Amino acid sequence: MKIQDLQQATVVGLGLLGGSLGLAISRHFPHVKRIGYSHRAVTRNKAADIGAVDEIADNLAQAVQGSQLIILASPIGVFPDLMTAMGPHLDAHCLVTDVGSTKMLPVRWARKYLNKNIQFIGSHPMAGSEQRGVDFARADLFDDAYCILTPTPRTSPSHLQCLRQFWQTLRMRLSTMAPAQHDRVLARISHLPHALAAALVCASDPDEMLLCGKGFLDTTRIASGPVSVWRDILMTNAQHTAKAIARLTRQLDKLQTALENDNPDAVVKILSQAKEKRDDLVAKKLLRQDLPT
């Protein structure tokens, strides 16, 4: 499959990501026909109203027929059902991808629920916002953000190349890794901070928190994220996230011991290393112009 052959694309799930995807496809692939599907009628209507897609399909079979590219933008938990339902209706050479935050399970599910000849390649466009729903969809949501692709040894090079070109045309910066590596890295840089923020709030007293300042609020901001989304993310990446928590706990134990032993040198060592590494991170991100504005 070549990107030039892309005539019709299907977006399954029309929330913030799916809706934005439809708008971005319209902007960057104006000749491509966009079919949308959502299991909720109200979402289907809203998506049609804002022009997120050209056509709304009433069912999944109808939605995927004739599309060269199918993008799953639903909550990850429903992927097995979607794959089972769409499987028999997919075009033989089509490319199926998704926008989920974990990648091992979607890839495993695709192997289990889709026909062997169907190419599924996981994508993780790292774009989004605190807002949810198609009402907040934006054509520029993906601009300059990172997108991680997770091919496997079974991935066809031409399909991978096509998927790369698709996201690049949507102005994303690409990175490629194996599904397991993706999930391990994301557990550490994304799922662990979320687990941490939630644990910190759970360990805090409501009256005491009222006195808190900007530091506490920033550190815990992501704990206000949607529970169902984060349940899916953590449960589909449970073992890696558990390991990441254990790794952090060891670091916290070190700091706790240094404090209990009244050891300023050990405390300074940890604080200095943290400041140096984070300052370096911010400097590099500024240089790459990938800090959120």
Interaction residues for a copy of itself, span 149-188 (CB under 8 A):
175, 185, 188
Among 5, 58, 218, 286, binds a copy of itself (CB under 8 A): 218
β-strand partners of 122 = 150
Our finding on whether 215 is near a copy of itself (CB under 8 A) is yes
Task: Out of 7, 59, 131, 273, name the contact with a copy of itself by CB under 8 A.
Answer: 273
Tell me, rounded to whole angstroms, the distance of Cα 33 from its chain centroid: 24
Quick check: 266 binds a copy of itself (CB under 8 A)? Answer: no
Q: Is 268 in the site for a copy of itself (CB under 8 A)?
A: yes
Where does this chain touch a copy of itself (CB under 8 A) — which range of 15-23, 81-89, 92-100, 281-289?
Answer: 281-289
- Contact criterion met (CB below 8 Å) for 81 and 20: no
Burial of 79-95, coded b for 16+ CB within 10 Å and e otherwise, reads bbebbebbbebbbeebb
Report in angstroms how near the CB of residue 113 gets to a copy of itself at its nearest: 20
Alpha-carbon span 183 to 248, nearest angstrom: 17
User: Taken in order 140, 146, 150, 156, is the CA torsion positive or negative?
Assistant: positive
Window 117-156: residues binding a copy of itself (CB under 8 A):
126, 146, 148
Q: Are 182 and 98 in contact (CB under 8 A)?
A: no
Residues 6+ positions from 260 with CB-CB distance below 8 Å? none
Per the CB < 8 A criterion, the answer to whether 35 and 54 are in contact is yes
Per-residue x/- track, 36-75, a copy of itself (CB under 8 A) = ----------------------------------------
Query: Considering only residues 14-33, where is the footprint of a copy of itself by CB under 8 A?
Result: none
Residue with Cβ nearer a copy of itself (30 or 260): 260
For 277, the token pair is: 């590494």
Residues from 195 through 214 that contact a copy of itself (CB under 8 A): 195-206, 208-214
